[in-house]
Amino acid sequence: MISSDYRKKITDSWFSYLQMQICKSFELLENNKFKFSRRDWYKKKVKEGGGTSYLLTNGKIFDKVGVNKSTVSGIFPKKFRSNILGAEKNKGKYWASGVSVVAHMKNPKIPAIHFNTRFIVTSEEWFGGGMDATPSHDDKKEKQLIHNYLKKICLQNKKNYEKYKKWCDEYFYLPHRKEARGLGGIFFDYETKDWIRNFKFVRDLGLAFIDISNKTINRKKKLKYTRKDKENQLLKRGRYVEFNLLYDRGTKFGLNSGGNTDSILMSLPPEAKWK
């Protein structure tokens, strides 16, 4: 039987590897002319961990892209424990590791892309994560390509694609606007059974994210766009800001687990507009 400490160690190692592969892939898209800057951070108690944030801004492809990885532990505030699986049973103690990526594109014809994956340990252990895209420009073929790829990864790992798709559609929704944040994708949480199979799925999804990102960007990076296209993109980014600040679980989890505020809010776009 695989021990809990080993499961923590091997997932933490994988997330570090995945972070570097994503950064390398994105730098290649920029023809290595624009590089990520690195910033390390630690919780107030160093023994409770920290993270590494990579940020690339003002590139030819990316207006702003952040690739965060963190591994932290500690005790959740009492008022927050009821929101986390297994947190109340062990007095709020937790361990969490994961990778989060948000990329805002210079060309408004290319959608913003988001990916995250995590492994959390309380009195329970589970994986969560997902991927979605937020376009400001309608493209039915693009939506089909992304969903077909995600469906393929789910089927290969015997995961319920329709369930994850529906979960994503319901999660990335702005009720005060009565509109979806983007074209959807997949979202999952509380995957507690069969750690080995779940870990393989998380790894496959991480590598698939790199492939999907490359195909999506390369397909459109040379397309011309107008000032109106850019204006529409900035308005759509406003919706992105609203969702991340009002509803995003990852934002709330990070802030309530003592994460680094700058890294948590790195998902916000460099510019946004509201009518």
Catalytic residue list: 114
Question: Quick one: DSSP state of residue 136?
Answer: S
Q: 């913003």: which residue's tokens? A: 112
Cβ contact 130:116 at 8 Å: yes
Longest dimension (CA), the chain: 59
Query: What Rg value do the Cα atoms of the chain yield, rounded?
Result: 18
Q: Give every CB contact of residue 7 below 8 A, 6+ residues apart in sequence.
A: 119, 125, 195, 199
C-alpha span between 241 and 251 (Å, rounded)? 11
- Candidates 19, 211, 183; CA nearest to 100 is 19
Cβ contact 105:205 at 8 Å: no
Q: What angle do CA 44, 118, 102 make, to 5 degrees?
A: 85
Q: Between 4-29 and 195-220, two packed helices, what is the crossing angle to 10 degrees?
A: 10
Q: Bridge partners of 131?
A: 115, 186
Give alpha helix (H) positions in the chain.
4-29, 78-81, 140-156, 161-171, 195-220, 227-246, 249-256, 261-264
